[in-house]
Amino acid sequence: MTFKIAVLPGDGIGPEIIEQAKKVLTAVGAKFNHRFIFTDALVGAAAIDAVGDPFPEETFLLCMESDAVLFGAIGDPKYDNDPKAKVRPEQGLLRMRKQLGLYANIRPVSTFKSLIHKSPLRPDLVDGADFVVIRELTGGIYFGEPRGRSEDLKKAYDTCTYTKEEIERIAKLGFEYAAKRNRRLTVVDKANVLATSRLWRETVQEMAPAYKDIEVDYMFVDNAAMQIIQWPKKFDVILTENMFGDILSDEASVITGSLGLLPSASVGIHTSVFEPIHGSYPQAAGKNIANPIATVLSAAMLLELSLNLKEEARTIRDAVDKSMKAGIVTTDIAEGKAYKTSEVGDWLAENL
């Protein structure tokens, strides 16, 4: 079959890691008789530099007419250090999520046996940890209105809002994920303080009886932040709102030992987007040293979730496991020789 994939490399190491994922996808295509048509488009700081807009209309239209979107990373230090910049790369990401209706961000956290000693946590705490964070992605404080500054500029405000419908559609996904996994759903909120969190809790409580075989528990976000580090193995599916999910998923990602390993999917109304959870790592840009595995595994998620190519996805994951065992890895996780980004990509493409 033929599939159209929109490719948004973005900033920093984005282009280098995306290149490896394309290589691997092309090799999978050759093996299983699929053709992937890749079309590149601008996003982030690269798009601001080229056309003055971090998510140009052209990029949006390409995403809409594609079967899936493969996304690299966005962000550039020249904007991070300038809080007054009017146009920012991150706005591109947020607009992409909103315009494509990507209300759910799915971040699986699992460990690689061969890397457990790289985790900052004790091996016995980490070995076997396997959970998924489902983060609401188009609501909450990231998008709520009003937001801004008072006229005298001495006050600033953001607003956190959620509607019942927004909570229901993501909670449904949470229950469905739990049903496919170990049937435990942990709802993370701050219901002791926030009205939006109380609506989350109320809504999930109303839905729970329809999913009798799922064990639901509720945890305040501060407590969850602690428990994820203390007992990562106790979690199965974590369901949470936008900003808590942003924070907890970064926290969760260090459990595995390298940020460079974890993929993610953003799904919702229109075309789904697949991207590594790490950022644009500007210090490494152009050096051919960044770990491409998170992006390659995002490509595997793309095959599975958007194109329903499960065996093809498994083939990629198996090749990644093999590469780790064989020590064909980049400097962030290498014990002995460190391989270049492109060498890891080549090896994976040749060893599917």
Q: Which residues bind ligand IPM (CB under 6 A)?
A: 75, 90, 93, 246
Provide, rounded to whole angstroms, the least separation between the CB of residue 346 and ligand IPM: 28
Give which of Mg ion, ligand IPM, none residue 93 binds (C-beta under 5 to 8 Å, depending on kind).
Answer: ligand IPM
Amino acid code (one letter) for 272: S
Provide, rounded to whole angstroms, the least separation between the CB of residue 37 and ligand IPM: 27
Residue 239's DSSP bridge partners are: 134, 187
Give which of Mg ion, ligand IPM, none residue 49 binds (C-beta under 5 to 8 Å, depending on kind).
Answer: none
Integer Rg of the chain from CA? 20
Residue tagged 């990029």 (tokens): 59
d(CA 148, CA 225) in angstroms, rounded, equals 29
| Residue 177 falls in the annotated catalytic set | no
Give which of ligand IPM, Mg ion, none residue 158 binds (C-beta under 5 to 8 Å, depending on kind).
Answer: none
Sheet of strand 184-189: strand arrangement: 35-40, 2-10, 68-73, 273-276, 263-267, 104-110, 130-136, 237-240, 184-189, 215-220
| Residue 250 falls in the annotated catalytic set | yes
246 binds Mg ion (CB under 5 A): yes
**Running DSSP on this structure, what letter comes out for residue 208?**
G
d(CA 337, CA 264) in angstroms, rounded, equals 28
Provide, rounded to whole angstroms, the least separation between the CB of residue 16 and ligand IPM: 19
**Running DSSP on this structure, what letter comes out for residue 268?**
S
194-228: burial string, b at 16+ Cβ within 10 Å, e else: bebbebbbebbeebbeebeebebebbbbeebbeeb
| Residue 318 falls in the annotated catalytic set | no
Provide, rounded to whole angstroms, the least separation between the CB of residue 75 and ligand IPM: 6
State the catalytic residue, choosing from 189, 236, 246, 332: 246
State the catalytic residue, choosing from 79, 103, 142, 177: 142
Site size for Mg ion (CB under 5 A): 1
Identity of the residue, 29 or 75, whose beta carbon is nearer to ligand IPM in the bound complex = 75
Helix, coil or strand: residue 104: strand
Residue 317's closest CA among 305, 331, 330, 301? 301
State the catalytic residue, choosing from 190, 236, 281, 332: 190
241 binds Mg ion (CB under 5 A): no
Residue 341's closest CA among 283, 275, 290? 290
State the catalytic residue, choosing from 49, 127, 250, 346: 250
Closest-CB residue for ligand IPM?
Answer: 90
236 binds Mg ion (CB under 5 A): no
Segment near Mg ion (CB under 5 A); pick from 104-112, 240-248, 257-265, 311-319: 240-248
Closest-CB residue for Mg ion?
Answer: 246
Provide, rounded to whole angstroms, the least separation between the CB of residue 264 and ligand IPM: 8
| Residue 40 falls in the annotated catalytic set | no
| Residue 246 falls in the annotated catalytic set | yes
Write out the catalytic residue numbers.
142, 190, 222, 246, 250
Enumerate binding residues for Mg ion (CB under 5 A).
Answer: 246
